[in-house]
């Protein structure tokens, strides 16, 4: 009963801003909070989850918000999933870098937490606003079965020449669609579960990105805006990047690959990113 009453109070708070409840938390509840100072080192996963929330908001609203800093996060970790409630500061480059407090909720699911879903992504509601999940009207276009089930294998290289199926992203577009780097960094962390807690993700360099959709889109670059798509990302990890040349003669940095499935379900409001199971 004590645990149930505590969880009811957490739910009433919307999952965010629950610090005042932590003194009454039963020991059986796997719930925690952390606040950050300017000098704190953010956990890489928390930063990426914060960026994912902003990405979802930008997709739906057509905005260009960017992450400024993470203020705090709460987490809940039952056995089958982990939920993160993140409060952050976003900046708007299109409005003289004005700052806005922002909240997002990201859930990790699966045996190796390879499925990430975001259903809350919003500017921080004021005291008179309802912090509960928004209700979405019924959508007559549910996620197609093409985007369900197991993830595909990496296609043959010549398959990317089929512009009725794929779009190969231009290098200039990688700068204006920096969420592609977010996908790569998440995929890297998922593929290297035994890596250090905060790997230096700046050592990752994108080599090539191709986007696949079920239906042909004109122009092909419209696939960048597709609600549902597969992303095939080839990248390198430069271990000595920024340290000066240390490679032996003839040594090459090998390409790595990442396959990411993106779906945006209008029925539920969930943006979901799925990654392959890591090889342990």
pLDDT in tens, 72-116: 999 887 667 899 999 999 999 999 999 999 999 999 987 677 899
Measured CA to CA, the distance from residue 211 to residue 205 in angstroms comes to 18
For residue 142, the SS3 value is coil
Predicted confidence at residue 134, as pLDDT, reads 47
Tell which wins on pLDDT, 227 or 7: 227
% of the chain surpassing 70 pLDDT: 84
The answer on pLDDT for 279 being more than 80 is no
Alpha-carbon separation of residue 84 from 37, 53, 72, 75, 279 (angstroms): 19, 11, 10, 4, 25
The rounded Cα 57 to chain-centroid distance in angstroms is 12
The answer on pLDDT for 4 being more than 50 is yes
Predicted confidence at residue 127, as pLDDT, reads 46
CA angle (223 as vertex; 217, 228 as ends), nearest 5: 105
Predicted confidence at residue 242, as pLDDT, reads 53
User: Mean pLDDT for the chain?
Assistant: 85
Predicted confidence at residue 141, as pLDDT, reads 66
Predicted confidence at residue 177, as pLDDT, reads 96
The rounded Cα 92 to chain-centroid distance in angstroms is 19
Predicted confidence at residue 135, as pLDDT, reads 47
Measured CA to CA, the distance from residue 15 to residue 131 in angstroms comes to 9
119-177 pLDDT, tens digit per residue, is 999 998 654 444 444 444 555 567 899 999 999 999 998 999 999 999 999 999 999 99
The answer on pLDDT for 191 being more than 90 is no
Predicted confidence at residue 194, as pLDDT, reads 60
* pTM over cut 0.85: yes
The answer on pLDDT for 193 being more than 70 is no
Tell which wins on pLDDT, 217 or 244: 217
Stated as kind and residue range, the H or E segment containing 108 is strand 98-109
Predicted confidence at residue 39, as pLDDT, reads 56
Domains and CATH numbers, the chain: 2-123 (3.10.450.10), 145-274 (no CATH)
Predicted confidence at residue 249, as pLDDT, reads 46
Q: Averaged over 62-71, what is the pLDDT?
A: 94
Predicted confidence at residue 131, as pLDDT, reads 42
């Amino acid at each position: 009963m004590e645990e149930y009453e505590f969880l009811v109070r957490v739910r009433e708070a919307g999952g965010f801003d629950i610090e005042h409840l932590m003194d009454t938390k039963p020991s059986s509840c796997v719930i925690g909070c952390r606040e950050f100072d300017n000098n704190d080192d953010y956990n890489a996963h928390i930063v990426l989850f914060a960026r994912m929330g902003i990405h979802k908001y930008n997709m739906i609203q057509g905005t260009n918000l960017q992450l400024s800093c993470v203020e705090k996060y709460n987490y809940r970790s039952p056995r089958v999933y982990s939920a993160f409630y993140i409060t952050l500061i976003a900046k708007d480059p299109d409005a003289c870098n004005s700052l806005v407090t922002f909240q997002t909720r990201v859930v990790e699911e699966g045996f190796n937490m390879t499925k990430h879903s975001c259903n809350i992504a919003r500017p921080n509601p004021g005291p008179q606003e309802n912090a509960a999940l928004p209700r979405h009207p019924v959508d007559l276009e549910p996620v197609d079965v093409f985007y369900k089930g197991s993830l595909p294998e990496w296609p043959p290289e010549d398959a990317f020449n089929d512009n009725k199926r794929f779009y190969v992203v231009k290098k200039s577009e990688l700068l204006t669609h920096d969420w592609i780097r977010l996908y790569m960094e998440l995929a890297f962390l998922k593929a290297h579960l035994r890596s250090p807690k905060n790997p230096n993700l700046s050592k990752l360099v994108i080599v090539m990105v191709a986007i696949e959709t079920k239906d042909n889109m004109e122009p092909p670059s419209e696939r960048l805006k597709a609600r549902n798509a597969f992303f095939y990302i080839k990248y390198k990890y430069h271990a000595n990047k920024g340290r000066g040349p240390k490679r032996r003669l003839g040594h090459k940095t090998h390409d790595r690959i990442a396959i990411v499935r993106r779906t945006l379900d209008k029925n539920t409001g969930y943006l979901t990113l799925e990654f392959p199971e890591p090889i342990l």
